[in-house]
Amino acid sequence: MWGCRAVLCVWEVRLAGFLGRRLLSSNAASGKSGAGRCWKCGSPGGVESGDGLFCHHCRALQPPDQTRDYFSLMNCHRSFRVDVVKLQRRYQQLQRLVHPDFFSQKSQTEKHFSEKHSTLVNDAYKTLQSPLSRGLYLLKLQGIEIPEGTDYGTDGQFLAEIMEINEKLTDAQSEAAMEELESTVRAKQKEFTDSVNRAFEQGDFEKAKEILTKMKYFSNIEEKIKLSKNPL
């Protein structure tokens, strides 16, 4: 039994080594010809400065740096508190540099990289813009995820509150009633956002996870309100 486990361990270590080498060689294939080297002209060091988007020697667009998280990409501190105006400016700045429209006359490789960059920038912006997805992403960076379908069944008072709001949503006949409901939900989300901010500042990730799970419920209600105001 133990011998068998030891053999397995050796095999796992070998597999890890093999996968590691595969990863390195696939990096080379994707255009990363080594730290800071341009995939096109091989110029060393020119890629490291600035955003590392273009080669300083031949100006070729470089592949996205997979090790960079969204906060680093968007020039934000890794924190729940984000300056959304600065975030939007950075988003526009990056899209002006990498958007596929500007690469229609370039090589297939650069077109491909520009699409990858553009998608990445869109995802980063969307994720960091909304407090809920930003909080979930921060937790993810800490190795904490909230699986889909996680419910808050233990908190009866919270569920009663959600049910009451859902009933009001079904019954809301007038625009005024809907607006009142919308402002209640907005106030609640503001309250949650402040609490999540405090939890992150205190490094209390479990608390942040608890509040973000609740925010998901309110986010669903917000979607329903949006839908009832602008039916598809």
Q: Which is nearer to Zn ion, 108 or 157 (CB)?
A: 108
Cβ neighbors of 61 (< 8 A, separation 6 or more) are: 53, 54, 98, 103, 106, 110, 113, 114, 117
DSSP conformational letter for 63: P
Q: Which is nearer to Zn ion, 109 or 197 (CB)?
A: 109
Is residue 188 part of the contact set for Zn ion (CB under 5 A)? no
Q: Which is nearer to Zn ion, 54 or 71 (CB)?
A: 54
DSSP conformational letter for 69: -
Which 34-53 positions form the footprint of Zn ion (CB under 5 A)?
A: 38, 40-41, 43
Is residue 130 part of the contact set for Zn ion (CB under 5 A)? no
SS3 state at 105: coil
CA dihedral 192, 198, 202, 206 (to 10 degrees): 0
DSSP conformational letter for 61: B
Is residue 136 part of the contact set for Zn ion (CB under 5 A)? no
Is residue 32 part of the contact set for Zn ion (CB under 5 A)? no
Which listed residue (32, 37, 54, 55) binds Zn ion by CB under 5 A? 55
178 with 231: CB under 8 angstroms?
no
CB of 100 to Zn ion, least distance (A): 20
Greatest C-alpha distance within the chain: 73
Is residue 15 part of the contact set for Zn ion (CB under 5 A)? no
Is residue 33 part of the contact set for Zn ion (CB under 5 A)? no
CB of 67 to Zn ion, least distance (A): 20
Which listed residue (51, 57, 115, 155) binds Zn ion by CB under 5 A? 57
SS3 state at 54: strand
Q: Which is nearer to Zn ion, 37 or 214 (CB)?
A: 37
Cβ neighbors of 63 (< 8 A, separation 6 or more) are: 30, 31, 32, 39, 113, 116
Is residue 58 part of the contact set for Zn ion (CB under 5 A)? yes
The CB density around residue 72, as the number of other CB atoms within 10 Å, is: 13
Q: Which is nearer to Zn ion, 62 or 193 (CB)?
A: 62
Is residue 61 part of the contact set for Zn ion (CB under 5 A)? no
Is residue 177 part of the contact set for Zn ion (CB under 5 A)? no
Rule CB under 5 A: which residues touch Zn ion?
Answer: 38, 40-41, 43, 55, 57-58, 60
